[in-house]
Amino acid sequence: MSDDGSMRMPGPSDVEQGVDRDTAQAPAVHHPRRVTSFRARRSTISDRQQAVWEARWPELGLLARTGDDPPVPLDTDAWFGRHAPLVLEIGCGTGTSTLAMAQAEPHLDVVAVEVYKRGLAQLLSAIDREGVGNIRLIRGDGVDVLTHMLAPGSLTGVRVFFPDPWPKARHHKRRLLQPDTVALIADRLRPGGVLHAATDHQGYAEQIAEVGDAEPRLTRIELDAPGLPISTARPETKYERKALAGPIVTELLWAKS
C-alpha cells in the first residue's frame, strides 16, 4: 500500500533477492508461485527510521510465513502480552489509518500487514513516538498471513483499505479480494466478526461487492449498524483530502454469521 492508502506491494523478487539486509534468508524449497496482488517496488528508509527499526522490530515485527514454511498460528496473547479481540489490516501502507484507529480502540489488538519496509518503518516510528502498545507488524503477503499464521475463528475484524485496483482487465486476476481470499477471511473471522473494505475504484468496488455477497458465511451490513465489534470510522487519508473532487470512495461491510 502506498502513502495515499492504496496497496502497492513489491514483487517476489524484492524479497528473494534480499533487498534488505535484515530480512535476507537462505533459499528454501519453493512451491509454484501463485498470482499475487502486489507490484514490484524498491524502497529505502531514513537513518532515523533504520535506528528505530533495529530497536523495535525484534519486539513488534515478524516476517510472514509462506508456503515454504510449516504453518504455525500466531500466539497473539504472548505477542501482545494480553488477551484481546484481534483485528487484521491487510496492506497498511504508512499506517495513518492503522495508528489512528488503534489509538481510538485501545481494547483491540491490531496486526498490520505490509510488504514494503518503508511503510512499515514509518508506522513503526509513529508507534514508537506515540507510545502505542496495541499494534504489531508483519512484513509480507496478507494471504500468506491468513493462510499460515492465523487460526480459524481467531479474528474479530479484517480491514482492507484501498487495495490495488489493477484496472486493466488482463490484470483483474491480481486483485486481492477474489472469492478464494474472501472465503479465507470468512474462515478466519469469528462469528460476528466483520470484513471492512474501502476502494475508490468503481469497477473494483462492484467486484468486491459481488464477491463478498456471494460468500455464504458473510452478510452485508451497514457501516453504522449497531453492536459492531470494531469501529468503522476510518480516518480520511491525505490522498482523499487531495482528491475530494475526484473518485468516490465506496465502503463495504460484512459480518460473519
User: 221 - beta bridge partners?
Assistant: 253
Distance CA 127, CA 176 (A): 27
Check residue 169 and give its pLDDT. 82
What pLDDT digit, counting tens, does each position of 90-104 carry? 999 999 999 999 999
Question: What are the CA-CA distances from residue 184 to residues 79, 97, 114, 192, 206 (Å)?
Answer: 23, 24, 18, 16, 20
Helix, strand, coil share (%) of the chain residues, nearest 5 = 35, 20, 45
Which candidate, 117, 152, 157, 154, places its Cα nearest to that of 137? 117
Q: What is the pLDDT of residues 27-85, one digit of tens each?
A: 343 444 555 544 555 668 999 999 999 999 999 999 999 998 999 999 999 999 999 99
Ordered strands of the 250-256 beta sheet: 61-63, 135-139, 109-114, 86-90, 155-161, 189-199, 250-256, 218-221
Residue 219: beta bridge partners?
255
Q: Are strands 135-139 and 109-114 parallel, antiparallel or unpaired?
A: parallel
For residue 143, pLDDT over 80 is answered with yes
CB of 232 closer than 8 Å to CB of 223? yes
Whether 77 is catalytic: no
Contact 139, 117 (CB under 8 A): yes
Half-sphere exposure of 220 (CA within 13 A, CB side): 10
How much is the pTM? Answer: 0.83
DSSP 74: -
Grid coordinates representing 248 are 468516490
Closest to 142 (Cα-Cα) out of 100, 112, 98: 112
Across the chain, what does the average pLDDT equal? 85
Cα 168 to chain centroid distance, Å, stands at: 23
Identity of residue 50: Q
CA distance 228 to 192: 8
Residue 37 and residue 175 in contact, taking contact as beta carbons nearer than 8 Å: yes
Q: Which of 109, 164, 187, 200 is catalytic?
A: 164
Measured distance CA(34)–CA(89) in Å, rounded: 21
Residue 89 pLDDT greater than 50, yes or no = yes
pLDDT digits (tens, 9 = 90+) for 174-208: 899 999 999 999 999 999 999 999 999 999 999 99
Q: Which helix (H) or strand (E) holds 205?
A: helix 202-214
Amino acid (1-letter code) at residue 99: L
**Distance between alpha carbon 106 and the CA centroid of its chain, in Å?**
19
